[in-house]
Amino acid sequence: MPDFALRRSPSDRRLYALEDVGTLRLEGFFSRKATAEAEGASWRFARTGSWRRHIEATDAEGMRVGEFVPHSLRRGGAVRWGGLEFSMRPASSWRERYALAQREHELALLDGKSWGGSL
């Protein structure tokens, strides 16, 4: 798997770039919304409801193209994108590391970092 890092733009603290893939811009109060752009397409990500962590993704026309539905008591959850089903599951007991998988095949490993580090 290639190794990519989401890095904050030095000139815009709400803009992040994923190498040559695309960008992610945080929006809203406490960054509860975001817009991603890659290869000429854009998507908007937003939490739905007041207390839920459920996240929906819409395309430029406002059509829902994906969602993340978290597990209720443990980390991870279901990811649906473009009609496909994936799972986001913990990949480590000690770190904020997750595996994006389709059935038993891991597609990507994601390390969660914050407070000024790379995401």
CA distance 96 to 63: 31
117, pLDDT greater than 70? no
- pLDDT given for residue 35 in this prediction: 96
In a domain, 84, yes or no: yes
Helices marked H in 1-119 — which ranges?
none
User: Is 81 within a domain?
Assistant: yes
Note the pLDDT of residue 32: 80
Least confident segment among 17-21, 88-92, 110-114:
110-114
**pLDDT tens digits for 20-69?**
899 999 997 776 899 999 999 999 999 887 776 799 999 999 999 999 99
Q: Is 62 left (phi over 0), alpha (psi -120 to 50) or beta?
A: left
In a domain, 21, yes or no: no
Residue numbers of the domain that contains 81: 71-119
Determine, yes or no, domain membership for 37. no
Which residues lie below 8 Å from residue 53, measured CB to CB, with a gap of 6+? 47, 68, 70
Number of independent structural domains in the chain: 1
Does residue 55 sit within a domain?
Answer: no
Q: Is residue 41 included in any domain, yes or no?
A: no
Tell me what the mean pLDDT of segment 87-98 comes to. 88
Per-residue confidence (pLDDT) for residue 119, from 0 to 100? 45
Q: Does residue 4 fall inside a structural domain?
A: no
Residue 81, pLDDT score: 96
Is 91 among the domain residues?
A: yes
Residue 77 in this model has a pLDDT that exceeds 90: yes
